[in-house]
Amino acid sequence: MSIQEILKILTDAGIEPNEANVEMKLLLERFADYGAKDIIMGNKLSEEKLKIVKQKAELRAKTRQPIQHIIGFANFMGEDFIVNPSVLIPRDETEFLVRKAVDVIKNNGFTFALDVGTGCGCIACMIAKLTECRVIGLDISTDALNTALDNASRLNLYNKAIFRKSDVFSNVKPGEKFDLIVSNPPYIPKSAKLHIQKEVTFDPDLALYTNDEDGLEFYKRIISGACEVLNSGGYLLFEVGQGQAQPVAELMKLKNFGDIEIISDLAAIERVVCGKMNNN
Ligand code: GLN
């Protein structure tokens, strides 16, 4: 059994060669503690370790579970986040949301932020790590909150990234106000579920789907409640799905948000909507 043969298990299952190479590297690191250094040094992999890696590659090929579930981690902005079936696997595009939030926080000297639907906590943790802000991450799922908590402790962010069970703002305390709200909420209408890519079916439904037809349900809920929990001059930032930036921007304008900015991702899809609450 060789690494090449294991790689073939992945490509035979229809995984693109480039992707299969990346996945192979992750499997070797995670389950055989074997990396580029070992290859350069000419270190050999034991049959025993190769067998474990092969089993994991077979599991990936057979079930099409995302590689992140098999290794138990997903890399986001250079950090490894624990992931499991209770949380959405962080997507690269979400970095645009985090970077914009970090800019806004630094430019305004903000100190207190809220992440609605925190999932594995990747957004809350990265904002807490990259700024002086304390961040509260809210989620309706207890399993997701436990994962987020584990991630914050792995990153030594105990006091800066805090998590609380809450259905959108249901558990924000009366009078509690934030400088910035950030959210990457579920935005796929349930009706689109049939057409979704196999790997995505391993993300929790709670993190993906809305009950309405246009996927705007959570944007509407968050925008309506935001004025109650934002300090005056506070910001609201969303990640959105394809085609949702304009409608979300309109909804924000209707609720007294101005200075609306839309940021596109690398695929030129409008991905982030950012707005400032006008003073009343
Ligand atoms: N905030 C988390 C993320 O961006 C989870 C988002 C979600 O579950 N919809 O990864």
Spacing, Cα 184 to ligand 1 middle (Å): 5
Alpha carbon nearest to ligand 1 atom 4, residue: 184
C-alpha to C-alpha distance for 212 and 247, rounded to whole angstroms? 14
Q: Which atom of ligand 1 is nearest to the CA of 91?
A: 10
Q: Which amino acid is at 155?
A: L
At CA 249, angle to CA 243 and CA 250, rounded to 5? 100
* pLDDT mean across residues, the chain: 95
CA of 2 to the centre of ligand 1 (A): 37
Percent share of the chain, pLDDT over 90: 88
From the list 47, 55, 5, the residue with the least C-alpha distance to 27 is 55
Domains and CATH numbers, the chain: 3-63 (no CATH), 76-80+85-277 (3.40.50.150)
Tell me what the mean pLDDT of segment 73-83 comes to.
Answer: 97
Ligand 1 center–CA 78 separation, angstroms: 17
pLDDT value at 192 more than 90: no
Cα(125)–Cα(17) distance, integer angstroms: 32
Q: Is pLDDT above 80 for 201? A: yes
Quote the CA–CA distance of 126 and 130 in Å, as a whole number: 6
Ligand 1 mean position, distance from CA 5 (Å): 36
pLDDT at residue 200 above 80? yes
- Say how far apart CA 173 and CA 160 lie, in whole Å: 18
* Tens-digit pLDDT profile for residues 103-146: 999 999 999 999 999 999 999 999 999 999 999 999 999 999 99
Closest CA to ligand 1's atom 7 = 207
Percent of the chain scored above 70 by pLDDT?
100
